Structure 1
């Protein structure tokens, strides 16, 4: 592609680049002495620290230096497991599926500004984490699609109370306390209601694009293609609609005024995001830091065992 954005890729930092030891201590010492990490990340959008042989034993120390305030994955919609102090498996979707591009928690009232991915074990084949420049993704969409989304999007969640299809509200908000859920939702602009069977319905309107607070760049920043049945593929979407109406799906999305989003818009968003992305091909011990507003991420399909952990901060 020759659209002006195709040259972008994450900055890869190796021990040789910074004159450090090819060991976890080399990266930790570099991060402790590094001035201007914030400015570097905004300029480069994503950083890959490679060749430092980081293991889970050093991960907490590395995360403390990269993420000033590690956050819990509250109100997340992706299946994952908590494995440490606000450290999670990156996703538990089956390996044969590609996960489309997205900015973490872009559907929520608050989202993390930074993400760190750590490759504990690289897949046998595949399994890259594609990353996409949000400006490029926006530019790749047809004007008709951008105009259609100008008013924002309405997200809807149906969270069961312990058994059912999709995620429970207990797993989503990491609590069994309804009062705590009410507290978490207060001030978010979301409408919510408890259902007779112990579930929770949540609906909120969010913008489709945002401007980065430092660069001012306008980026595509929503997860409409992941919340829309058409983003799952024709066969899966048809099967879901045979089971239940769209309003009862675990998650769904519409334009802000409630009107349906055309399926062809969704597939264009999904496909052009992936086409515009650059793959980070994992090596065990790699650490990837991204600006969650400037860069979207996803996952390529893979074979063999793959274990990538993620943490986030505001």
Structure 2
């Protein structure tokens, strides 16, 4: 399957669908009901932007019912976000001045969502775009040396505190207070959990660096090695964390599958080449973005002013 360097999401507007019932949510719902092969369209286009339908937060239900038929909880997620409804969350709540690098949601986990849907409730005053990148193009953009070294996969480690500490707690991460539920989840996902005396939990898991899309057959870069590596945080932040904690005690860390450290220059290339190849979705209030989570990675540009983008996911 060829890679198109000029790829960008497919934009769908009331004009493009000749909506007979107007330009609002009802028109979008009508079009989705009349589209027999939305999955095929998403396989071909990889990402869809629904623009001009004026979707509001209280109108999300009918849209999500059609785009995400089986919404999932953000269990085992490592980024900070707030649950605002039935498996509806705010987008990652990192400080506005930082770029969030490209990633496929939950690519470090045993299972991941097939689709992600974003809805812009409030557009930022400046910036705040969601960059998206073709994950096959991302893989192709990396040096052969990096692709070869990652061929055996990645070892991820999480240190989740029990209520007070750096990063997320295990209770937030797994959306439960029940240790037995966590143990069952980890066993089913082939991850190793170690409960510690201070009430924290260490999770270790081995995962592949690439995967094949089940329908298109595309091979894609599919991991979060750069986001879990301190080098991607910048020299000052990485140095500050090193002074606070040894590497194996950080909230999250990453290594090659054999346990060898991943060189900083590898993760910086991985991060930067994805951002360079990315296409920005510049939000307007009421926009909805649907992406195939294997074929497309996403991130966030810095912004000023208020910004509220909601996200939900499905298998």
TM-score normalised by structure 1 residue count: 0.98
CA-CA distance at 1:5 after TM superposition:
2.7
Query: Structure 2 matches for 1:94-113, cutoff 5 A?
Result: 94-113=95-114
CA-CA distance at 1:234 after TM superposition:
1.0
Query: Any gaps of 5 or more consecutive residues in structure 2?
Result: none
Matching residue of 1:233: 234
Question: CA–CA distance in 2 between the matches of 1:290 and 1:162?
Answer: 34
Question: CA–CA distance in 2 between the matches of 1:131 and 1:311?
Answer: 17
Tell me the alpha carbon deviations over residues 150-177 of structure 1, each in whole angstroms, 9 at most, x when there is no partner: 1100000000000011100000000001
Question: CA–CA distance in 1 between the matches of 2:159 and 2:58?
Answer: 38
Matching residue of 1:15: 14
CA-CA distance at 1:89 after TM superposition:
0.2
Count of matched residue positions in the alignment of Structure 1 and Structure 2: 312
CA-CA distance at 1:4 after TM superposition:
5.4
Query: Structure 2 matches for 1:83-98, cutoff 5 A?
Result: 83-98=84-99
CA-CA distance at 1:259 after TM superposition:
0.2
Tell me the alpha carbon deviations over residues 167-209 of structure 1, each in whole angstroms, 9 at most, x when there is no partner: 0000000000111111111221111110000010000000000
Question: CA–CA distance in 2 between the matches of 1:85 and 1:183?
Answer: 23
Matching residue of 2:176: 175
CA-CA distance at 1:68 after TM superposition:
1.2
CA-CA distance at 1:58 after TM superposition:
1.1
Query: Structure 2 matches for 1:266-281, cutoff 5 A?
Result: 266-281=267-282
Matching residue of 1:189: 190
2:38 paired with 1:32: no
2:250 paired with 1:249: yes
Matching residue of 1:6: 5
- Two-structure CA RMSD over aligned residues (Å): 0.9
Question: CA–CA distance in 2 between the matches of 1:92 and 1:211?
Answer: 30
Question: CA–CA distance in 2 between the matches of 1:223 and 1:191?
Answer: 18
Question: CA–CA distance in 1 between the matches of 2:85 and 2:300?
Answer: 22
Contact kept in structure 1, 2:3 and 2:136, CA below 8 Å: no
SS at match of 1:227: coil
Matching residue of 1:157: 158
SS at match of 1:38: helix
Question: CA–CA distance in 1 between the matches of 2:187 and 2:205?
Answer: 12
Question: CA–CA distance in 2 between the matches of 1:202 and 1:56?
Answer: 35
Query: Structure 2 matches for 1:206-221, cutoff 5 A?
Result: 206-221=207-222
Matching residue of 1:285: 286
Matching residue of 1:127: 128
CA-CA distance at 1:284 after TM superposition:
0.3
SS at match of 1:76: coil
SS at match of 1:225: coil
Indicate the larger mover: 93-102 or 17-26: 17-26
Tell me the alpha carbon deviations over residues 12-50 of structure 1, each in whole angstroms, 9 at most, x when there is no partner: 000000011211111111112211000000000000000
